[in-house]
Amino acid sequence: MSEIRGIAILGSTGSVGRNTLDVVRHLGAGYKVVALAAGRNAALLLEQIREFRPTLASLEDAEAGQELRHEAARLGTRLVTGSGSAIQVATCQGAQLVMSAIVGAAGLRPTYAAVAAGRRVALANKEVLVVGGAAINAAARRSGAELLPVDSEHNALHQCLRAGRRSEVRRLLLTASGGPFWEREAATFAAITVEEALAHPVWDMGPKISIDSATMMNKGLEVIEARWLFDMDPDHISVLVHPGSVVHSLVEYVDGSLVAQMGSADMRHPIQYALTWPDRCPGQSRPLDLTDLPPLCFYPPDPARFPCLGLAYQALKIGPLAPAILNGANEAAVAEFLAGRMGFMDIPRCLTMVLERAATDESVPGTHGEPGVDDCLEADRWGRETALAAHETLSLPRQGETGR
Ligand SMILES: NC(=O)c1ccc[n+]([C@@H]2O[C@H](COP(=O)([O-])OP(=O)(O)OC[C@H]3O[C@@H](n4cnc5c(N)ncnc54)[C@H](OP(=O)(O)O)[C@@H]3O)[C@@H](O)[C@H]2O)c1
């Protein structure tokens, strides 16, 4: 690579954002941070401005931005603040690659702007494709923007797909850890408590993603993400439970070859892959010691105990906006579960009711024509409201009662 690659980071103060800056430090000359976008963490953003001297920075929290403006200008960085300011970072001059690592649906508009502007986008944020997959793909087709996955399973698939032609791919196999309840008896699922669902045996994650991992909705959202990222028919995307999480995902080719990607669980690996693609550069994470691994075990998913996975496939069949509806409904249902107002198995029951309505109700938002970002966000909102209404009006059994 001869010229300097300019990088803009959406969500620079978060976990993926900070890891991205660490990778840029490691890569050194050849990569330049030209713009940073953060939400509220003004102190960390200022530290990052001091170190990387980007030309542009944004802070969503306008009040916190006031204190920063003068110092940022002194350092040669133009600071923009307030709602939507990350869009300027996403489309700023000199950024060949945009890292999309704002958490949640707030990342959709800036990422869409980067894609529409034809930028190469490294995508960490799942919700961008789960909620806005149809709109993002349509914008990428128009602008020619490339999407490079950072989520470790999708990054693994991207790597495995380099082993053959697209016409030679039979299916994508996403691996799943199975979450904390993989070995738990079906009869006890209705009694699962918030505390049990939050206590993941391996990962220490935020509450929403911990519950998604426990219901396996997280893998369902990843199936949706894979459908849009690789433009793959959902019937050709499978999930394999692999509690060891050593194989990050696999591609099955028509000749029966399975190509897998393995590696240590270090987010800097997929981040660096996306930053340097199509080149590979020496990395910071240690390669796996294959002589020191536990046996690699794989199991089919269990739809009876984990119906959320099947609901993700169902949403993809209903139409382009049903995944956004499912996402909104799931966020609302998980919040109800965390607040102690909904039982664990009520989550899939509630989502089933929302999808049944989405499949039959003509008034569901954005079911006509090619959906835009506003349609996607409206569908997500409709999903939230419909889930809450379903939970309220249909007298679901309380937590602790016998499940279906
Ligand atoms: N962490 C991982 O290992 C990992 C792995 C794969 C995929 N992902 C996905 O990557 C995304 C980021 O994850 P994360 O763990 O880095 O999250 P995180 O640590 O919570 O960081 C979120 C970032 O988004 C910023 N932000 C939030 N709302 C914003 C808004 N309205 N406008 C501008 N910036 C906003 C935050 O800014 P402030 O902190 O300044 O408020 C922060 O920089 C998520 O979608 C996650 O699912 C994460």
CATH class, domain 5-145, is alpha beta
Nearest alpha carbon, ligand 1 atom 21: 14
Q: How far is CA 277 from CA 22, 76, 97, 273, 274, in A?
A: 17, 30, 10, 6, 5
The whole-number pLDDT of residue 369 equals: 67
If one compares 85 and 205, the residue with the highest pLDDT of the two is 85
The whole-number pLDDT of residue 77 equals: 98
Distance CA 207, CA 212 (A): 9
CATH of domain 183-215+305-404: 1.10.1740.10
Nearest alpha carbon, ligand 1 atom 2: 16
**Tell me: the pLDDT tens digits for 41-53?**
999 999 999 999 9
Q: Average pLDDT, stretch 342-346?
A: 95
Mean pLDDT of the chain: 93
**Tell me: the pLDDT tens digits for 234-246?**
999 999 999 988 9
Nearest alpha carbon, ligand 1 atom 42: 14
Q: Average pLDDT, stretch 280-285?
A: 92
Distance CA 128, CA 45 (A): 23
Nearest alpha carbon, ligand 1 atom 32: 39
Q: Average pLDDT, stretch 333-337?
A: 96
Question: How far, in Å, from the CA of 22 to the mean position of ligand 1?
Answer: 16
**Tell me: the pLDDT tens digits for 259-268?**
999 998 889 9
DSSP H stretches of helix in 170-239 = 194-198, 207-215, 217-229
The whole-number pLDDT of residue 402 equals: 42
Could you tell me the pLDDT band of residue 183, with boundaries at 50, 70 and 90? very high
Atom of ligand 1 nearest to the CA of 59: 33
Could you tell me the pLDDT band of residue 371, with boundaries at 50, 70 and 90? confident
- pTM for this predicted structure: 0.93
Provide the residue ranges of all domains of the chain, joining segments of one domain with +.
Answer: 5-145, 183-215+305-404
If one compares 4 and 205, the residue with the highest pLDDT of the two is 4
Q: Average pLDDT, stretch 354-375?
A: 82
Q: Average pLDDT, stretch 348-376?
A: 85
Atom of ligand 1 nearest to the CA of 13: 43
Distance CA 108, CA 378 (A): 12
**Ligand 1, residues at Cβ distance < 6 Å:** 11-17, 37-41, 60, 86, 101-103, 106, 124-127, 151, 267
